[in-house]
Amino acid sequence: MNQIQMKKNKEELILKKRTIFSILFILSFIFSATALAEESKIEVWIDGEQIQFEQGPFIKDGITFVPFRALFSELGLNVKWNQDTKMVIGKNDGLTVELSLNNNQFTVNGEMIELLSPPELVNNFTYVPLRVVGESTGTSVQWNGEKKAISIMSSESQVNEQSESADSDYIVKVNGEKVDKDKLFDLMVQQLGKEKTDALVQQLIDQTLVAQQLAIEGLNVTDEEIADSVSKEIERFKASFGSDEEVEAYLLRYGMSLEDYQKIVEDMIPFQLQIEKLFESKIEITDEEIATYYEANLSTYTEEEQVKASHILVETKEEAESILQQINDGTDFSELAIEHSIDPGSGSNGGDLGFFGRGVMVPEFEEAAFNLSTGEISEIVQSNFGFHIIKVTDKKEEKTPTLEEKQEEIKEELSKVKTREQYQLWIEEVKTESEIEILF
């Protein structure tokens, strides 16, 4: 009921509506956990040529592993096994890569680099995290989701590709005259203003740095993880309302549908998951932290007493008295609500208002509703909206969930807080260490 239900918590919802420009290379390799059995489905390309391996890449614990000897040989390195040192060594002019099984460190020209996971021996083939490829050879890695293909591109090929794609700088041709992207960008800056444009540029820088670090560490965000997170976020959003109708009404005030909101979530979730993937191995939540957070936020976890009620709203007391008499004579309450109630939010629904707590309805209505028993019908109640007849159909007693019931929820929340904190520290540090040139 729009006139009666002034639900404070709904007004406090902050609808995050922003556009995320998707111009990053997708560096998530969506392989099956049984990739070794399905290697024929995964294409590997180096500088535009498809490479065939006896055993293809696979993913373990979110980290992409690639066959060392086969891949590095294709990249021009001479790969050998040193029986004395128990190390795999790849060499070419000016480059030496050394690593050993079950060791989280490898060296590039003598410089030690730390890995999240050590190389592994699978069916007598040495597999290394994809990070080794990027950090040791300076190659670029790209994933094509439609073709299920990994593309590894050398520095020389990257330069050649850039020179061959000069026409991509243009967006339209009018009577033979090309209009370049700079004009479109200038128009966007005029429309958005410098402050918003600068913020978007910084956002793109952040996204690019995160994507680069994911590639270095050989980490992925899968389609399944994205779909699961989108679904959970939509359900969490809908659960903050009493009904689907309330969700639709709320979004309508912002000129949106639920489908529009879902598209916004789908744009936001991948970057959020990338950040979580980067830091999840560095985040630790203790039982003590969970208990402290629970005690500090206990009041917010308490589910207040609620009633579920229906009502019939009319303009005059005389009409209300007539309807109440019909109810007492046995006429169905919901049918009378549909026929007579002037409340546009609930009348057509048989007067159903759903569950509500204290502080939601106007005082006169609240007092009457909370003093009724389940199944009981009120006398006539007057408010500034008119005259009500109220029927309580269900009740929920106040309930405080236990620590055990809230433990996983709190752990997830604390993990997000710590991830945000670590991400902010990391992104500021990595920006100072990176070569960033803003070209406008």
pLDDT at 159: 58
pLDDT at 144: 66
State pLDDT tens for residues 343-378: 988 888 899 998 898 888 999 999 999 999 999 999
Beta strands in 93-220 (DSSP E): 95-99, 105-108, 111-114, 120-122, 125-129, 140-144, 149-153, 170-174, 177-180
The two most distant CA atoms of the chain are separated, in Å, by 102
pLDDT at 146: 60
| Equal CATH topology for 35-161 and 306-396 | no
The more confidently predicted of residues 102 and 291 is 291
pLDDT at 14: 31
Instruction: Evaluate if residue 114 carries a pLDDT over 70.
Output: yes
Q: Report the share of the chain in percent with pLDDT over 90.
A: 37
Which of the residue ranges 153-167, 171-185, 426-440 would you say has the lowest mean pLDDT? 153-167
The more confidently predicted of residues 331 and 106 is 331
Using pLDDT thresholds of 50, 70 and 90, give the confidence band for residue 142: confident
Using pLDDT thresholds of 50, 70 and 90, give the confidence band for residue 331: very high
Q: In sequence order, which residues have a C-beta less than 8 Å from that of residue 259 and are 6 or more positions away? A: none
What is the mean pLDDT of the segment spanning 173-182? 78
pLDDT at 231: 93
Q: What span, in angstroms and rounded, lies between the C-alpha atoms of 291 and 294?
A: 5
Helix and strand totals (H; E) in the chain: 15, 19
192: left (phi over 0), alpha (psi -120 to 50) or beta: alpha
The more confidently predicted of residues 268 and 101 is 268
Answer yes or no: are the C-beta atoms of 90 and 72 closer than 8 Å.
Answer: yes
Q: Give first-to-last CA distance, the chain, whole Å.
A: 52
Say if pTM beats, i.e. exceeds, 0.75: no
The more confidently predicted of residues 73 and 9 is 73
pLDDT at 338: 95
Dig out the tokens for 115 from the structure. Answer: 């890995």
The more confidently predicted of residues 63 and 391 is 391
63: left (phi over 0), alpha (psi -120 to 50) or beta: beta
Mean pLDDT of the chain: 81
Burial (Cβ within 10 Å: 0-12, 13-18, ≥19) of residue 206: middle
Answer yes or no: are the C-beta atoms of 30 and 221 closer than 8 Å.
Answer: no
Q: Return the domain boundaries, the chain.
A: 8-22+167-282, 35-161, 306-396
Dig out the tokens for 183 from the structure. Answer: 């004009």
pLDDT at 420: 93
State pLDDT tens for residues 210-249: 988 988 888 888 889 999 999 999 998 888 886 788 888 8
Q: What span, in angstroms and rounded, lies between the C-alpha atoms of 170 and 237?
A: 41
Element (H, E) at 352: strand 352-357
Using pLDDT thresholds of 50, 70 and 90, give the confidence band for residue 332: very high
The more confidently predicted of residues 150 and 28 is 150
Using pLDDT thresholds of 50, 70 and 90, give the confidence band for residue 380: very high
Burial (Cβ within 10 Å: 0-12, 13-18, ≥19) of residue 132: buried
Dig out the tokens for 419 from the structure. Answer: 């991830």
Q: What is the domain class of 306-396 according to CATH? A: alpha beta
Q: What span, in angstroms and rounded, lies between the C-alpha atoms of 69 and 83?
A: 16
35-161 under CATH 3.30.2350.10, yes or no = no
CA-CA-CA-CA torsion sign (405, 409, 415, 418): negative
pLDDT at 21: 28
